[in-house]
Amino acid sequence: MLETIAYSILNGVLYGTLLFMMSSGLTLIFGMMGVLNFAHASFYMLGAYFAYTLGQATGFWVALFIAPILVGSVGAIVERYGLRRVHQFGHVPELLFTFGLAYVIEELVALFWGTVPVPYKMPDALNFTAFNLFGLDYSMFKVFILLVAVAMFVGLWVLLKKTRAGLVIQGSLSRPDMVGALGHNVPRVFMLVFAFGCALAGLGGVVGGIQFVTDPGMAFMMGPIVFVVVVLGGLGSVPGALVASLIIGILQTFFLSVNFSLAETIGTLGIEDSGFFGVLWHMEATRIAPVLPFLLLVLTLIFRPRGLFGKREA
Amino acid sequence: MTRKNKTGVFTGTMIGLTMAISSVTYADNHPIRISYIEPLSGPFANVGDAGLKHFRFTAEQINKEGGILGRNVEIVAMDNKQSPSESVQLIQRSVDQGINFVTQGNGSNVAGAMVEAVDRNNRRNADNKVLYLNYAAVDPALTNERCSFYHFRFDANSAIKLEALANYMKDQEEINKLFLINQDYSHGQFISNHMKTLIDEKDMDVEVVGDVLHPIAQVRDFAPYVARIQQSGADTVVTGNWGNDLSLLVRAIDSAGLDVDIYTYYGGGLGTPAAIGARGEDKVYQVTEWHADVNVDEGLEEYEQWFVDFKERYPEIDWYYHRVYNQMYMLKDAIEQVGNAEDVDAIAYALEGMQFESPTGTVTMRAKDHQALQPLYISVMDADAKYDADNSGVGFRTVANIPVEQATDETSCNMKRP
Amino acid sequence: MATNTAVGKPSLLKLWPWVVIPIVAIILPHIFDSGHDINLMSHMSIAIIFALSYNMLLGNTGLLSFGHAVYFGLGAYVAMHVLRMVNEAGGEGLPLELIPLVGALAGMGFGIIFGAVSVRRAGVVFAMITLGVGALVHSSSLMFTDFFGGEAGLFGDRTYAPSMFGIDYGSSVSTYYLIVAWTLVAAILIYLLKKTPLGWMANAVRDNPERAQFVGYDPTFVRFFQFVLSALFAGLAGGLHVLSDEIVNDEVVGQIQSGAVLLGTYIGGIGYFVGPIVGASIVTILESSLSTYTDAWVLYFGLLFIGIVMFAPMGIVGVIHLQYLSWKAGGWKGNTGIRLYLLLAGLVGIFGLVCVIELSYHYFRSWDPSAPFGLMGFTVDATGAMPWLVSFAIAIAGFGAMLLHAKPMLARRTGAKTEGGKA
C-alpha cells in the first residue's frame, strides 16, 4: 500500500504539472476576457510541432524558448484579427470561434506534418535515469518537466504579484472597465494576455509532446481535461489551477493504481454483475478513473460553481 | 412574418441545389469496382490512407496482369470518418452506383454495422446484392453468432490470434506470470476473458497476475499502469492495444526500465514502430499473418519484389497487409470461376471453402463461417531486420511459425445460405 | 428579431411556407430517387428536428449546450429497445409509426433528470455542465453493455414491426415519408411553443434573467421547462434515427453529434425559426458529400464556421433576411451594382482560396506531388510556381477588391450605416 501511495503521488504530481502548464494559460485568458478558449489545447499541440521542427535545426534547448514565443505570436494574431472582432457579438460567438479554430488548426497541422505521429524525441542530455523508486526508473526528463513547471509557477507568481504589468492584469481580471477607465489600453492587454496564455500552453506542448505522442490528435485528447482543471480550480485563479491540476493528477493516478471495486471490498451482497447498479457495484476503479474528471466537473459546477479558489462565478 | 416567407423559398431552393450536387452518379460499368470504406479524414485518416494504398497497388498489379476476366479493377475510396452509421450510408451509395463489392477493416463496431447493412440490403434488394470483404476487423462475433453469408474475413480473428499465441506460450519456460492490459471495449474485453479461458483449457503453466482494462484512446500517461505491472511481478504482458494506446504503453514500460516482454496484436501497425522506435527491440512481439522479413527468411523473391515495389511507390509506409494480397487474388479467382462479376451469390459460393496458394502457405476460406485460416507468425522487434517498418529503424524477426492447425478456432456459426 | 412585421394581409396567406415545404419534401424523392439520396434526405429531416430542438435552448433561451446528443442518443437507445422487443415478439406490439414517441418520452425523462441539475445557471456554467454530462453519458455507453450493446451497438429491423396503416417500411421511401410526417408535426409544435407565454418568457430569461425574475418568473423554472421540452424533441429525433438507420451505437450520444447540431444551428442562424432548418440541411449535405469531392472538407467546414461566426453571427438566414429588409426598405436603390460587385469579389476571393487549399493538399498529401492533377478544370503541376502564383493572385485580388474597394464604396454610398456583411 505504501508503494502504491508513493507511486500515485509521484506519477500524479508529474501528470499534474503538465496539466498545470496548460491550464494556467487557459485560466488567465478566461479570468480576464471571459473567453473559454476551446482551441487552447491546439496551441499546446502547436508548441509540440514547432519545437519538433525547430529542434531539427537548432536543437532542443533553443526550441524550448523559441517555440513558445512562436505559439504566443500565433495567439496574438488570432486574438487581434479574430477574437477581437467576435468580441463585440458576445461570449457565445467567442466560444464558438475558438471551437471552429480548434478544427482548423488540427487540419492544418495534419496537412503540414502529416497524420502519423512525428518522431519528436527527448534530448540526449536528459535521456538517463534520475532515480529509482521501488524498482521503477524515473527518467531525468520527467524531473525536468517538474522543474519547468515549478519555474513557470514561480515566474507567473512573480509576474502577477510583483510587477506593474501583473497589477494591470490582476485589475483586468476583476474589473476590466475600471482598468480601461484608468487609461490602460484594455484591448492591448487582452491581446498580450491571450498571447501569453497561448505561449504557456505552447511550453506545455514542447515538453508534453515528448512525454506523450506528437500527432494531430493530441489536442483533442488533452482538451476536455484542461477545462475540468480550470473549472475545479476556479475560473481565473492561477493557484487554483495549480491545486486542481495536482488533485486531478493524483486522484486519477491513484484510481488507476489500486485494485478496487465495491463488490470486492464490501462483498457482492448477492448483487449480480448486470443492470445499472450491478455493473456499477462490480466496476473496477481503473475503469472509472478516466471518467472521474468529468464527474468532478459536473459535481463542482452543481455544488460550487466558482470552484476551489475562484472569486466569482463564471 | 415576411422573413419567414423569404427564407421558406430559400430553404427549398437550397435543398434542391445541394441535392443536385450530391447525386452525381456514374454510368461507366466497365471496370470491376470495389468500394473501400475507411476513415480518410480525421484522427484515423493515416490508417485509412495506408490501407487504400495497399488496395490501389494490388489493383494496379492485377490490372497489369490483365485484370479480372479482362476487366480492370478499380478501388472506389469512400470516407466513413470511422463512423458506423456513415459506413451504412456508404454501402447504400455503393449499391446506388452498382458496386457489388465493399471492403473495410478498421473498427469492429463499423464492421458489425456493415454486416447488418449488407444483409439487410441483400434481403430487401435482391437484384443489387453486395459482398463484404473484411480485411482487418477481428471481432470473433462476426464469424460466430453474427456470421453472414455475405461476409468474408481474410484476417485471423481475435480468438485465432490468441489461440496461436497460447500455443506458443505453452512451450516457453520463461513465461510464467502474465499481465493482461487491454482497451475497455469488446476487443479488449474479449482478449482479457479468452486468454484466461485458454490458459485453463490448455492447462498452461502460466498464472495471470493482473488484468486491467483502460478506456480506449483516453489515457495520456501509462505510468500508473506500469507501476501495477511492476508490483504484480509479471514477466510478460499481453495486450490487444493499437495506435497510441500501444505506443504510449510501450514507451511508459521502457522509460520505467521495467523488464517485461510485450505480446501485441498490432506492434507492427501503421505508425506504431515509428512511435516506439528502438525501445521496443527484443521486447515487443506481434502475432501476424506475415511481416517483411518473412520474405527474406523463406526466400520469397517474387513477394519481396512486390514489397520493394510498394516501398518505391509509397516511401513513407510499408507493405503491411499481406491479407489484402490474399483477399484480392482470392476474389479474382472466385470471379473468374463464376465467369462474371455481378452474380454475388455465386461468387460468395465460389469463395466458400476456397483454397488459395499464398506466398506464405495455403489460405483456406472456411466454408462454415467464412473465416480465412492461414499460418501465423510470432515475431519480435529487431533493429537488425533487413526491412524496417515505416522507416523507424526497427523491423521484425520471426521467433515462431504457427502452422495453420494451431491457428484455428471453433465456430458457433449457423450460416443461413440463400 | 421577434418583432411582428405583418402588414395586414389575411393571416392564412402567411402560412404558405408550411404548405410549400411539405410539398417540396414530398416531391423530392421522385427527383432524387437513389437509395443514398433518400437516406440522406431522411437524415436531413432528422437533423432538422434535432437542430430545431437545439435552438429552443440556444436561440430561444440563450443556453449553449455541448451535450445535446445525450437526449437524442438516449431517446434512440430506448426506442431501439422497444423496436427490438417488437421484433422479438414476432412483429407484434407497438406500431412502427409510434416508436419515435418512445424516444421522445425517453428524451424527456432524461431531460428531467439532467435538466434538474444543469439549469440553475446559464452561460459558461451551463455549457460546462452539459459538456461534462455529455462525456459521462458517452463513457457510460461503453461501460454498461447490457443497455447500450457496447461499441458494436444495437440492431433492429423496422420491417418486423406492425404498421398502423399497413405500410411496408422495407423501402426507404416509405420510411422517408414517415420521418417527414413526424418532422412536420415536430416543427409545427416547436413553432407554436415559441408563441406561447413560455416561449416569450424564455426570450426574456435569455435577454435579462434579473428582469424576468422581477416580473415574477423564476428563470430556473423557465429554463428547466425549455430544457425538458427541447430534450423531448431531441429524443423524438433519436427515435426517428432508429427507424432510418436501424442501428444505434455510441456515436449517437457522442461529442461529434453534439458538435454537429451546434454547428448546423449556428450556421443557419439562431435568431430565426428557419435558421436551424437551413443550417441542419446544409451541414448534413456537406458532411455526406463534400468528403467525396475533396480531402480538405474538414478544413472547409471549419473555415465556413469561423467565417460565419466572424462575419455573419446572425447566420445564413440572418444575412439573407437583412439584405431582404434593406432591399425592401429601398436601401439597395442606386447601389445594387455595388452589392453585386461586393458579392462577386468575395466569391472570386473564395475561389482563389479554394485553389490554394486544393494545391496545398495535393502538394503535401499526395505520394507524388509533381503528378499532374485536375484543378477547376485545368490540369496543373503542384510543384511548379505558376498555379500557386495564379491561385494566390486570384484570392488576393478577390478579397482585396472586396475589402478595400467594394466595401468602402458601399459604405460611402449608404452613409454611415453599417451592413451585416455578406454570405
Say which residues have a Cβ less than 8 Å from residue C192's Cβ, sequence separation at least 6. Answer: none
Query: Is B5 a domain residue?
Result: no
Q: Is it true that domain C13-296 has CATH number 1.10.287?
A: no
C227 vs C4: CA distance, rounded Å:
26
B225/B335 same-domain check? no
Please tell me which of the candidates A93, A295, A313 has its beta carbon nearest to residue C309.
A93
Core vs surface per residue B331-347: b (16+ CB within 10 A) or e = bbbbbeebeebeebbeb
Give me the sheet containing B177-183, strands edge to edge: B207-214, B177-183, B236-239, B261-264, B284-288, B376-382, B395-402
What are the tens digits of pLDDT across the range B111-128? 989 999 999 899 888 888
Query: Is B304 a domain residue?
Result: yes
Instruction: Provide ipTM, 2 decimals.
Output: 0.86
Place of cell 492544418: A108
Give just the sign of the alpha carbon dihedral A46, A51, A57, A58: positive
Nearest Cα of chain B lies from the Cα of C5 at a distance, in angstroms, of 6
Tell if the CB–CB gap between C292 and B85 is shorter than 8 Å: no
B392/B282 same-domain check? yes
Query: Is B245 a domain residue?
Result: yes
Output the nine-digit C-alpha cell for C421. Answer: 456583411
The 3-state DSSP composition of chain B as helix, strand, coil percent (nearest 5) reads: 45, 20, 35
B215/B323 same-domain check? no
**Least confident piece of the model among B126-135, B219-228, C299-308:** B219-228
Instruction: Provide the residue type at C367 as one letter.
Output: W
DSSP track, B98-146 = T--EEEE-S-HHHHHHHHHHHHHHHHH-TTS--EEEESS---GGGGTTT
Q: What is the pLDDT of residue B1?
A: 36
B47/B69 same-domain check? yes
C325 vs C337: CA distance, rounded Å:
17
B144/B96 same-domain check? yes
Q: In the predicted model, is pLDDT for residue A273 greater than 70?
A: no
Of C184, C223, C202, C186, residue with least CA distance to C2 = C202
Q: What is the pLDDT of residue B21?
A: 43
Query: Is B14 a domain residue?
Result: no
Residues in chain A: 314
Please tell me which of the candidates B184, B223, B275 has its beta carbon nearest to residue A11.
B223
Q: Give the mean pLDDT of chain B.
A: 87
Say which residues have a Cβ less than 8 Å from residue B314's Cβ, sequence separation at least 6. Answer: B53, B57, C367
Domain ranges of chain C: 13-296, 330-413
Q: In the predicted model, is pLDDT for residue A256 greater than 80?
A: no
Range of the domain at B327: 27-156+296-374
- Alpha-carbon distances of B68 from B65, B329, B337, C206, rounded to whole Å: 9, 10, 11, 65
**Least confident piece of the model among A112-121, B222-231, B405-414, C300-309:** A112-121
Query: Is B366 a domain residue?
Result: yes
Q: 3-class DSSP state for residue C374?
A: strand
* DSSP structure class, residue B410: -
Interface test with C, best of B17, B19, B102 (most C CBs within 10 A): B19
Q: Give the model's confidence band at A173: pLDDT under 50 very low, under 70 low, under 90 confident, else very high.
A: low
Output the nine-digit C-alpha cell for B404. Answer: 495453420
Output the nine-digit C-alpha cell for A1. Answer: 500500500
B394/B261 same-domain check? yes
Please tell me which of the candidates A3, A137, A253 has its beta carbon nearest to residue B256.
A137
Element (H, E) at A8: helix A2-33
What's the whole-number mean pLDDT along residues A211-239? 84
Q: Who wins on pLDDT, A7 or B251?
A: B251
Tell if the CB–CB gap between B43 and A220 is shorter than 8 Å: yes
A149 vs A10: CA distance, rounded Å:
14
Q: What is the pLDDT of residue C420?
A: 46
Tell if the CB–CB gap between A116 and B271 is shorter than 8 Å: yes
Please, which chains are in contact with C (at least 3 CB pairs closer than 8 A)? A, B
Query: Is B8 a domain residue?
Result: no
What are the tens digits of pLDDT across the range B367-387? 999 999 999 999 999 998 889
Tell if the CB–CB gap between A97 and C365 is shorter than 8 Å: no
B382/B305 same-domain check? no
The pLDDT tens digits along chain C (423 residues) read 444 444 445 566 667 778 888 888 888 888 888 888 898 999 999 999 999 999 999 999 989 999 999 999 999 999 999 999 999 888 788 899 999 999 999 999 999 999 998 888 888 888 889 999 998 998 888 778 788 887 778 888 888 888 888 888 888 889 999 999 999 999 999 999 998 988 888 888 888 888 888 888 888 999 999 999 999 999 999 999 999 988 898 889 988 889 889 989 999 998 899 999 999 999 998 888 787 777 788 888 889 999 999 888 889 999 898 888 888 887 777 778 888 888 888 899 999 998 888 888 888 876 667 777 777 777 777 777 888 888 889 999 988 888 888 888 888 877 644 444 443
B70/B46 same-domain check? yes
Q: What is the pLDDT of residue B14?
A: 45
Query: Is B389 a domain residue?
Result: yes
Is residue B181 within 8 Å of residue A286, measured between CB atoms? no
Tell if the CB–CB gap between C128 and A231 is shorter than 8 Å: yes
B388 vs A136: CA distance, rounded Å:
30
A199 vs A51: CA distance, rounded Å:
12
Say which residues have a Cβ less than 8 Å from residue B282's Cβ, sequence separation at least 6. Answer: B380, B381, B382
* DSSP structure class, residue A79: I
B39/B146 same-domain check? yes
What are the tens digits of pLDDT across the range B168-193? 998 888 899 999 999 888 888 899 99
Q: In the predicted model, is pLDDT for residue B43 greater than 50?
A: yes
Query: Is B352 a domain residue?
Result: yes
The 3-state DSSP composition of chain C as helix, strand, coil percent (nearest 5) reads: 75, 0, 25
Interface test with B, best of A3, A9, A11, A252 (most B CBs within 10 A): A11
A56 vs C128: CA distance, rounded Å:
39
* DSSP structure class, residue B362: E
Q: Give the model's confidence band at A141: pLDDT under 50 very low, under 70 low, under 90 confident, else very high.
A: confident
Place of cell 413553432: C191
Nearest Cα of chain A lies from the Cα of C215 at a distance, in angstroms, of 24
Domain ranges of chain A: 2-260
Q: What is the CATH number of the domain that holds B186?
A: 3.40.50.2300
Q: Give the model's confidence band at B129: pLDDT under 50 very low, under 70 low, under 90 confident, else very high.
A: very high
Of B14, B7, B5, residue with least CA distance to C16 = B5
Give me the sheet containing B361-366, strands edge to edge: B73-79, B32-38, B101-104, B131-134, B151-153, B371-373, B361-366, B355-358
C17 vs C34: CA distance, rounded Å:
26
B60/B165 same-domain check? no
B272 vs B132: CA distance, rounded Å:
28
CATH number listed for the domain at residues A2-260: 1.10.3470
Q: What is the pLDDT of residue A303?
A: 86
Of A204, A43, A66, A46, residue with least CA distance to A113 = A46
B113 vs B80: CA distance, rounded Å:
12
C-alpha distance across the termini of chain B, in Å: 58
B90 vs B96: CA distance, rounded Å:
9
Tell if the CB–CB gap between A221 and B275 is shorter than 8 Å: no
Q: How many domains does chain B have?
A: 2
Phi, then psi, of C158 in degrees rounded to 5? -70, -15
% of chain A with per-residue pLDDT over 70: 94
B172/B148 same-domain check? no
